Amino acid sequence: MFDYLRYYFGPLLQVAAAIGIIAGGIYTWTGLSTLFILAFLDGVLPRDMRSRSIRNDNLALIPIWLGAIMAVGLYLILAWQIGQGGMSTIEIVGGMLSASWLGVIIGVPTTHELYHKQGAVKKFIGTYCQVIYLDSTRNIAHMVGHHLDVGTPEDCDTAERGKTLYTFAPAAVIESTKTAWRLESEALMKRGYSRWSIHHQVWKALIALIVFAAAMYALGGATAMGFGLLGAALARLWVETFNYFQHYGQVRVAGKPIGRRHVWNHLQPLSRLVAFEITNHADHHLDAYIPYYRLKPDTSAVKVPNVFICFLTALVPPLWHRFVIMPALKEWDLNFASAEERELARQQNLAAGWPDWFAEAPQAQMSNA
């Protein structure tokens, strides 16, 4: 039973953030404060390598539904509170950042889980709750693009070695949007429609955005709508910063099979809970329909810090490169990459001005993936 209950941790954080927004004052920052609290706690807790014992999919989906809907609800609660009057600018900013942060760390994995599911209602909620980061077409680029191209230059979610968070995230926002719209247009043309037919998901995404903005305006006026959209725009950028850590620097030859090794797994206990196993997703790239609670931790994978620490260190690129990702990639290259992948990795290392650890390591020390 505890395996079912543990995943309510994320929705409880959303409830705490909502209470903080309503309480006002310093408490409006409650949601954002969880970034630093989780980073610390996950840094001192032992890694969680245990598989879950969950068999009832309907029960397992309850916290997923709550997380996705509450991700939208936090923006609406903030808008309502602004509409009551009396909130200072600093309180509004705190509430906005709290809604934005939890919309990423909880909203992304819950919507991701739903749009990967079979069933019209699940797909609808999973797709259009993505309005909280202004991208109700993201599921297209993710499912049709990322899942096929991961680790290759065609995948805008895989950061090349040497690229910083600051250059990757803005470019990924643009490229993922272009990819989604292009793939949808091509699919429509194959069905006999025009590229920008009324059936294009972009028009439905636009309606979702208008409804979202109108709801915030109705609850709290122009100020609520403005800050809400600003928070959603920040979340859009924030989403890409977390993609940055999922596959950074890993390489794969286009057309070759995707393996469990083509993923960084962050297996600290709170990371797994609050992000609904999206930090433990090696098996997800082998079968995109495996439910989150059946994903098995890859016990043989390279160890990396929790995703919160990765984010905070990446804000200082030399710290991220030298002390976090270079050691991980060196181990990945020498012990997990195929011969073809090593050549691609070496080229990226040279282009980034990184050390050539292939020359330093005797051939006999290299393992074959």
pLDDT tens across 145-164, in order? 999 999 999 999 999 999 99
Whether 364 shows a pLDDT value over 50: the answer reads: no
Domain ranges of the chain: 2-302
- The pLDDT assigned to 369 comes to 55
Mean pLDDT of 244-259: 94
pLDDT interval class at 367 (50, 70, 90): low
Mean pLDDT of 285-314: 94
pLDDT interval class at 368 (50, 70, 90): low
Mean pLDDT of 213-221: 98
Measured CA to CA, the distance from residue 308 to residue 310 in angstroms comes to 5
Within 10 Å of residue 255's Cβ, how many Cβ atoms?
A: 7
Whether 263 shows a pLDDT value over 60: the answer reads: yes
| The two structure tokens encoding residue 367 | 């393992």
pLDDT interval class at 118 (50, 70, 90): confident
Type of residue numbered 54: I
Contact yes or no for 232/134 (Cβ under 8 A): yes
pTM for this entry: 0.94
Question: What contacts 24+ positions apart, CB below 8 Å, involve 203-207?
Answer: 204/128, 204/136, 205/128, 205/131, 205/135, 205/136, 205/137
| Mean pLDDT, rounded, of the chain | 95
> Phi, psi (5° rounding) for residue 17?
-65, -40
- The pLDDT assigned to 360 comes to 79
Measured CA to CA, the distance from residue 82 to residue 226 in angstroms comes to 11
